[in-house]
Amino acid sequence: IAEYLASIFGTEKDKVNCSFYLKIGACRHGDRCSRLHNKPTFSQTIVLLNLYRNPQNTAQNADGSHCHVSDVELQQHYDSFFEEVFTELQEKYGEIEEMNVYDNLRNHLVGNIYVKFRREEDAERAVAELHNRWFNGQGVHAKLSPVTDFWESCCHQYEMGECTQGGFCNFMHLRPISRNLRQQLYGRGPRCRSPPRSHTGHRPRERNCWHSPDHRHGRF
């Protein structure tokens, strides 16, 4: 029996543990789920809940109508956001192995950012220091996540442009960053102290810090 239970742990056959929470790090039923959400006490991965705001979904004119945001503008906005978050976390807490941002539209997934550090100690410290702070005018809700293998969590149909569920799919739709930015960020060593060079080769302006609860405006 023990071997059988071990073989189905975290799968859809497991009637005790929630497979979606273990694989995706979130469940659409939340605390009302009939299966257990085994929240980790240690992990390399943290999740920043609902932090990324897609301007194609939120941009509005003064009259309440939606603004048109081109794909090029969206990619530039996303790359800038990704670089700022990645750089801040790596410089303050430790080397990042992987960072992913959900492109799903379901409430329990939208805007979630998953950051996998090389060391569990760095992830633990990041959660302790980031939780209940502020970024770009919104509160940061940081938690340890059970997700360590993003390949198992991804919707591979989405990666091929074939997912029929769109943004309402229950598996990870990971928004990609540009190739140049990927090479720039993941080629950087841990805890680099000097500001990174921009794509034009110039040093960008120095960034602000994550705000404590009494400073709720501005980025970082």
Residue 75 and residue 165 in one domain: yes
Same domain, 178 and 164: yes
17 in a structural domain: yes
Q: 122 is in which domain, residue-wise? A: 39-59+68-187
Q: Which of 6-10, 113-117, 142-146, 186-190 shows the lowest per-residue confidence on average (mean pLDDT)?
A: 6-10
What's 72's domain CATH number? Answer: 3.30.70.330
Same domain flag for 25 and 45: no
Tell me what the pLDDT averaged over the chain comes to.
76
* 180 occurs within a structural domain: yes
Q: Are residues 92 and 131 in the same domain?
A: yes
Bridge partners (DSSP) listed for residue 36: 17
Instruction: Verify that 150 and 80 share a domain, yes or no.
Output: yes
In 190-199, which positions are buried (b, 16+ CB within 10 angstroms) versus exposed (e)? eeeeeeeeee
Residue 132 placed within a domain? yes
pLDDT greater than 60 at residue 7:
no
Output the pTM of the full model: 0.73
Residue 18 sits in the same domain as residue 127: no
Please tell me the distance from the alpha carbon of residue 200 to that of residue 33, in angstroms, as a whole number: 49
* pLDDT at residue 201 in the model: 40
The pLDDT of 76-99, averaged and rounded, is 94
Q: Which two tokens stand for residue 183?
A: 């090479």
Could you tell me if residue 50 is inside a domain?
Answer: yes
94-143: per-residue pLDDT in tens?
999 999 998 887 777 888 999 999 999 999 999 999 987 888 888 899 99
Q: Work out the average pLDDT over 191-197.
A: 37
Same domain, 51 and 112: yes
Distance CA 185, CA 39 (A): 29
Question: Rounded distance, CA 16 to CA 34, Å?
Answer: 8
164 domain-assigned = yes
Give the integer Cα–Cα distance in Å for 171 and 162.
Answer: 13
Identify whether residues 84 and 172 lie together within a single domain.
yes
> Per the domain annotation, does 208 fall within a domain?
no
Of the candidates 51, 21, 27, 24, the residue with the CA atom closest to the CA atom of residue 39: 21
The pLDDT confidence band at residue 32, using thresholds 50, 70 and 90, is confident
